[in-house]
Amino acid sequence: MIWTASYGQTGKDSLTCYTTAELQKIALKVVLANELDTVLKLTQQELFNQTVVTDKQMDIIIANYEIIVSKDSIISKHDNIIDLKDKELIKRDKIIAKQETQKKLLKTGWIASVGVMIVTMLFISI
C-alpha cells in the first residue's frame, strides 16, 4: 500500500508509474492547459464579437454609401432641372426681346402711318 500511495498509476492494467514530483508536474500542466483553454475560448469569443462589430460597421458604411449615391442622384436631377429652367429663361428673354422689337416697330409704324395721314390730310385740304 505504501507503494501505491507514493506512486500513481494511469490505470489498473498500466505498467507506467509516476512519482509525486511527476504527478505534480502533470497536474500543473493540466491546470495551465485549462487556463490556456479558457483564454483561447475568451479570445475566440472576442474575435467573434469583433467580427460582428466589423460586419455591422460594414453595413453602416454600405448604407452611408447608398445614401451618398441617392443624394448625388438628387443633386444631379436638381442640376438638370436648373439647366432646363435656365434654358426656359433664355427662351423667355429672347421672346421678350423679340416682342419689344415688334412693339417698337409697331409704334414706329403707327407714328409713320399717322404722319402719312396728317400729311395726306394736309395735302388734300390745300
For residue 56, give the amino acid letter: K
32-82 confidence digits (pLDDT tens): 999 999 999 999 999 999 999 999 999 999 999 999 999 999 999 999 999
- 109 three-class SS: helix
pLDDT band at 4, cuts 50/70/90? very low
pLDDT band at 122, cuts 50/70/90? confident
pTM flag (> 0.85): no
- Domain residue ranges in the chain: 2-125
Q: Contact at 8 Å (CB) between 49 and 41?
A: no
